[in-house]
Amino acid sequence: MEYRAPIESYSGVVREITIGKGEKALKIGGENILPFHFFDEGSLPNPPIFALEVWDMEPTDWPEWLLEPFKDVVSDPIKWAKRCENFGANAISFYLTSTDPATKDSSADEAAALTKNVAEAITIPLIVYGSGDDKKDAEVLPKVAEVCDGMNLLIGPVLKENYEVVGKAILAHGHLAIAQTPLDINLLKELNVKLCHFFPAERIVIDPLSSALGYGMEYSFTLIERVKQIGIIVKDSMTQMPMIANLGGECWKTKQAKESKEQGLLWEGITALSLLLAGANILILRHPEALRLIKETIGGEIWQK
């Protein structure tokens, strides 16, 4: 008698979100199956997207093999972003690192003007991350949202300390929000509940924070996996948002990645693959060779099934 594997079906659906506008637009989410469960009854209509990092200032602590693909453009964010396009990135993740009070403490006006220039120069969607300083981001990110009005950027991090001022500005100017909490499902849901008092749930992407291989990745994997399962299987509306895994920086600051290029690529590639299997919809990488490796590993034909 032929064995037939059991087929599961779930009633929960991850919200489908569109980043960018017009020809730049990309959809994420929309799945009602668990990651790579193409054998179950359901679909994953939109494949995961991969972004490469671009900074608004030249990095000073990156290993030489990480800087090598960009060494002639790291002083120009627009050229850097275009280089990432040529490497096959689906999106650009732009970091306003210079706005951090601990670095250059650049102004909100400078950051906003530069962000708009980068967004207009590329043909793929733009993700924008502030410095992570909640007070400075409360100044910078609303200005970025205003200057880039109507561009439908994905902007964050929206934190519990600044979610009202940052979230309202993001919404008022037609963008999407990255809700970020530190590796805790209760804090994640709490922030989403507060944010959804005024912000549409279908315009939120979850950033649960991502750890690198050997440095807590199992916590990131478990959390992302649990959020995806609760959203799809249990139909918890506060976990039915797509998720972003911002992993590049975590991987390349490890001891192993700083020792050699080969270790760095493997560290980033294995971390990315693991978080993809957990359920991440967007993965942010730093090295274009790691991007190529992960794309080759998962292939493209399976997403047509």
Per residue, the 3-state secondary structure of 1-70, as one string, reads CCCCCCCCECCCCCCCEEECCHHHCEEECCCCCCCCCCCCECCCCCCCEEEEEEECCCCCCCCHHHHHHH
Coil vs helix vs strand at 259: helix
Among 228, 192, 185, CA closest to 208: 185
Provide the token pair at 104: 């250059």
Provide the token pair at 110: 């400078």
**Percent of the residues in the chain that have a pLDDT greater than 90, as a whole number:** 91
**Is the pLDDT score of 303 beyond 70?**
no
Q: What pLDDT, in 10s, does the model give residues 132-150? A: 999 999 999 999 999 999 9
Q: What pLDDT, in 10s, does the model give residues 139-198? A: 999 999 999 999 999 999 999 999 999 999 999 999 999 999 999 999 999 999 999 999
Are the C-beta atoms of residues 247 and 300 closer than 8 Å to each other? no
- Superfamily of domain 19-25+45-297 in the CATH hierarchy: Dihydropteroate synthase-like (3.20.20.20)
Where do the structural domains in the chain lie, given as residue ranges? 19-25+45-297
Position 305 scores a pLDDT of 43
For residue 38, what pLDDT band results from cuts at 50, 70 and 90?
A: confident
Position 176 scores a pLDDT of 98
- DSSP lists the bridge partners of residue 67 as none
Are the C-beta atoms of residues 177 and 170 closer than 8 Å to each other? yes
Provide the token pair at 145: 């949202």
Provide the token pair at 214: 């050997």
pTM of the model: 0.96
Q: What is the overall mean pLDDT for the chain?
A: 95
